[in-house]
Structure 1
């Protein structure tokens, strides 16, 4: 089973399965293809993955998120009059992570060569019929693209004409990117021919990207365009293979990446919701929506204050945050009759036997929080929603051997700076840092540090066996959508396709990770067909509602039917997500 954000990407995964690859090979092929076709990400972005290894029974976490470069300090950005690092341009870029992440996953857990897995992407780089969504995004953002000479060369083939972007269906060629990918493949081929092992050969390709001539062109062009990334930033960066975090919800073990993502917020939400009879409330009843909203807000308030790169001090109090006892205390804060627009972070430190070093900051948190929000009201504008739900793609794959992969890659979306003659579009992930520890002392920008990102793949196991792999794009709404997908299946007995399409709710009562990091207290998005009596009830509890036709998010998922020995795939009707099973 191969599922991702575009039919062409899913086809690339299916091609690799047909060549004898496993789920990791197929996932890497889908990652390469979606980066090449700019499915709201590109090669200079970041890759976050969970992999189930059937031979060890372990869930493995892949951290291929780039870091802030040399010179990227809070003082640097404040001197430019900024509240947060910029959303676009060379100063928005962390170091590229996806090439390293792909090569690492493939070399350690795949079966095929880099040459075989990159073949579909390389064919696309040589020219493929560009889709309307991408082509029109280029045209929409062409004035910004023109500020960056290498991006202008790639994205605007009709420069000077009325439409400067490619037309939908036009053959879109990326010869610089093709040459970069060819260098990686050639390096692997030469190493194999000299007697190096498969893993050693891929490591040489990895080193060429981060330490060799590709790295030299990346840094030269980034600095030419006003960015900060240096050779040492690339050479010292490493993919991290980590242990994921997890919780148990009614006998199901749910796994998420560590607190450099927002993933633990889903685990915290489940721990809080375990204290309520959700099934008895009824699917999307007013009581269910209210309870869900309040639990998410409590978890996301903790996310906003406590989550950050665990390699830096201070270290997030994750033991306390994920304890069942802490969740039980947080659950007691939920007023069943009213929304709490001032849902603050809690104090998890006593639940891990420590004193909270940030007590004074917590006392003034609401005031500081809202000072950093441009518009602390409940109106959800189109521009706010575009930032808050900024999408990327998702990738899930599984095979008969038992390998399972869930990936939420991102970064380098249009409009992206392209690094010189590499064809590599750079990340815009710096904007997820904060510049003031009063907002989040764990996520203040510093050289070598990873920003706290929204990207959040998921795996669930039952009785030690995979139960479901699920992922979604959509910025700060990701773990909201994934939480509801999970509950749809576990509490409301939906099948996987029903669960990815079912109407969701979305809260904006947390600090957005993009743009101006706004908050919208009490704002609630509901599906358009929400009954009038539910609307009235929620309005009486203090919610400011808006209604949309599709609220499920572009969720992709695989469910494992152990009774019949089959895989059930789901791709929501939100966008163009697509799956192929055989």
Structure 2
């Protein structure tokens, strides 16, 4: 449903005035709950969360059930992918970070991929695969913070694997990708049940059966139940299921099937892997604590952007005015330039300068570089090292790429960074790489547990590893092979790629304030940043904020897709705006040096939970496109 520019302007004025008139303007109603809230990217998966809450489970149990269900439904992720989570523990009043990202396998080196003619690890196939992370992430979260058994939590996913009516979106992806799927015998067996017919994939509404995946999940539950019969504790029993997946017969078939098709990971790679529980990174914005995962994700980019934007009076600029959009775009570009050069796996050398990157003094220095009247097409990474008492060892490398290290305001730079001299264009292929989606999982309960997850990996067209029914991750493509691009994110065995996946939690006055996440590749933290500001600066409700028109910058290196450097290079000044943006705002942006691309929906899809402490209730929001939604009680 579209509204005229005049009606949009009137509605916007009402919103900025704090009027309740917009309460019914959203295309989806907000969700309300007193006891619990379960939101994710698939309606059937949200029902899985509701069913587990109905069994007496907490938010961690429900989140794991939703994650397991979405992994079984294929078009956005699968069981061989990766999981990134933030959990608020009401007992300790602390936020916990779960790193269940798989690692590069044995033999995954720059030299190996270059010998195959790659400039980046490939987008698809066995060589794109990191080791599976999601099964271990589910087991860890459930064992440490859940209350139910693995059998109870996996029950909805196992019912789906036994057969569910497949949606048109997923079925059509199988059909449109069938030429690629046919390269991999185990994928062909699962995704193309009508081989040889005109339509080889399932039809929408057809009961889609995954016998091999059901057998794998059954083996995990059997391991748990056998351990319980041996008088093991609930936690020990869940970890018995973990061990069967990563060290037992499931692992053996995973490795056999992967290597048969040209994959690299070994039994030792799986046996050595485990999820890591971390302390998340955080910053404060107007007294609100915002938490993100560490620098092996792009999450700190949002924290850096908030630190920069704190230097400006955003509310006075007006929601989505040209001045506001310009300031947002510049702040995001500064943060993305740092992300693209400095972020990587913190468990591998060299050590990322993350303390300096999140230092408020560094943000003030970066904010001073913003030209209030024009886009800077040549912005590069800054030098955060002095803000943590170190000397930057990469200054010569940065200068060789053409980056200016002048930190004085209003500096003039005539040199275009060498790697960025040729910009990408907004082809359909580019837009797919920019927006490539996954899903998100949000759960909360009246006891105070809160979970935010952005899982991914193993999306269609996935390579299934042997007779496991498990689709392998494609996350290797987020590594680089050239240290000149990012010395912290060069592929190496056992290393985690710097991913786009980025759940979020915020606390206010020591209590949960927001749980929010979104799908969409490099646009994730762009949309989450604006969602957060929509609520904090402009007083929107959680549903209004999820649907509100956002902008997206393309002045960044793409993290996904593309076999050549030219496929991933920044597009300076390119901005995606909503088609409801007034023509005078578009004209002003063009005067500032922007090239605008207009789209009808630019909000996500974002899923979020807001905590209404005044009334003791939960509000759920889910933006107005895609299948994302939830259930509250």
Deviation at 1:518, TM superposition (A): 2.9
Q: Could you say which residue in structure 2 is the equivalent of 1:150?
A: 186
Matched, 1:358 2:400: no
Which aligned pairs between 1:340-351 and structure 2 lie closer than 5 A?
340-351=376-387
Matched, 1:14 2:60: no
Deviation at 1:463, TM superposition (A): 1.1
- In 1, the alpha carbon distance for the partners of 2:617 and 2:610 equals 9
Q: Could you say which residue in structure 2 is the equivalent of 1:262?
A: 298
Deviation at 1:325, TM superposition (A): 0.1
- Against the structure 1 CA distance between its residues 375 and 87, is the aligned structure 2 distance closer, same or farther, given a 3 Å change threshold? farther
Kindly provide the CA deviation profile for residues 56-80 of structure 1, in whole angstroms up to 9, marking residues without a partner as x: 0010000000000000000100111
Contact 2:75 2:173 in 1 (8 A): no
Deviation at 1:390, TM superposition (A): 0.5
- In 2, the alpha carbon distance for the partners of 1:39 and 1:495 equals 30
Contact 2:378 2:417 in 1 (8 A): no
Unaligned runs of 5+ in 1: none
Q: Could you say which residue in structure 2 is the equivalent of 1:420?
A: 466
Contact 2:401 2:418 in 1 (8 A): no
Structure 2 residue corresponding to 1:442, chosen from 484, 488, 504:
488
- In 1, the alpha carbon distance for the partners of 2:402 and 2:603 equals 30
Structure 2 residue corresponding to 1:277, chosen from 307, 313, 317:
313
Structure 2 residue corresponding to 1:491, chosen from 528, 533, 537:
537
- In 2, the alpha carbon distance for the partners of 1:440 and 1:128 equals 43
Matched, 1:574 2:610: no
Q: What TM-score, normalized by structure 2, do the two folds share? A: 0.91
- In 2, the alpha carbon distance for the partners of 1:564 and 1:44 equals 41
- In 2, the alpha carbon distance for the partners of 1:242 and 1:249 equals 22
- In 1, the alpha carbon distance for the partners of 2:366 and 2:417 equals 22
Deviation at 1:198, TM superposition (A): 0.4
Partner SS state of residue 528, structure 2 = helix
Which aligned pairs between 1:93-492 and structure 2 lie closer than 5 A?
93-366=129-402, 376-377=423-424, 379-492=425-538
- In 1, the alpha carbon distance for the partners of 2:52 and 2:592 equals 52
Aligned residues: 581
Unaligned runs of 5+ in 2: 1-36, 404-414, 563-567
- In 1, the alpha carbon distance for the partners of 2:420 and 2:358 equals 28
Matched, 1:550 2:601: yes
Q: Could you say which residue in structure 2 is the equivalent of 1:38?
A: 74
Deviation at 1:373, TM superposition (A): 6.3
- Against the structure 1 CA distance between its residues 559 and 175, is the aligned structure 2 distance closer, same or farther, given a 3 Å change threshold? same
Q: Could you say which residue in structure 2 is the equivalent of 1:527?
A: 578
- In 1, the alpha carbon distance for the partners of 2:318 and 2:625 equals 24
- In 1, the alpha carbon distance for the partners of 2:154 and 2:504 equals 25
- Against the structure 1 CA distance between its residues 35 and 366, is the aligned structure 2 distance closer, same or farther, given a 3 Å change threshold? farther
Aligned-residue CA RMSD (Å)? 1.1
Q: Could you say which residue in structure 2 is the equivalent of 1:87?
A: 123
Contact 1:370 1:519 in 2 (8 A): no
- In 2, the alpha carbon distance for the partners of 1:137 and 1:346 equals 41
- Against the structure 1 CA distance between its residues 576 and 14, is the aligned structure 2 distance closer, same or farther, given a 3 Å change threshold? same
Kindly provide the CA deviation profile for residues 461-493 of structure 1, in whole angstroms up to 9, marking residues without a partner as x: 011100000000000000000000000000000
Runs of 4+ in 1 over 2 A off after TM superposition: 364-375
Q: What TM-score, normalized by structure 1, do the two folds share? A: 0.99
